[in-house]
Amino acid sequence: MDFKVCIVIRHPPYGTVLPAEAYRTIQALQTFEREVNVLFAADGALTLVESTDPEPIGMHCLADAFPDLLELPGVSLAVNPDSLERRGFSVDDLIGLPEGSEYILVDDDEIEDFMSGHKSVIVF
């Protein structure tokens, strides 16, 4: 997998289709055996917060869906802890990952380096 793609999710998990479309894009990229690193930043970091309950608005909980992507080869999940803190959360509030997996933590001053290591960057 020499073609690395960075998917940046920066929009909130509900109210737009963007995080859900990012999920579908990650699945499609895996069809072509691409290494995909997903970065949750800005309001997108809220996508992984465990306590979200979108059922009252008729949506599925995206926090439950994204960890399942780690079963695909070459997928990793990264989160910007500074984004969480600015919104009143911490990495302790994130949904748990499958055993043996962990989040990559990318601080504000590391985002540029993180993204520059990829052939393509797609922002949602």
The domains of the chain, with CATH numbers, are 4-123 (3.40.1260.10)
The reported pLDDT for the residue numbered 10 is 98
Q: How far apart are CA 66 and CA 93, in angstroms?
A: 15
CA distance 19 to 45: 10
Mean pLDDT of 7-23: 93
pTM of the model: 0.92
State the chain's mean pLDDT as an integer.
92
pLDDT digits (tens, 9 = 90+) for 29-70: 988 889 999 999 999 999 999 877 666 666 677 888 899 999
Tokens linked to 36: 């995909």
Residue 84: its pLDDT value, please?
98
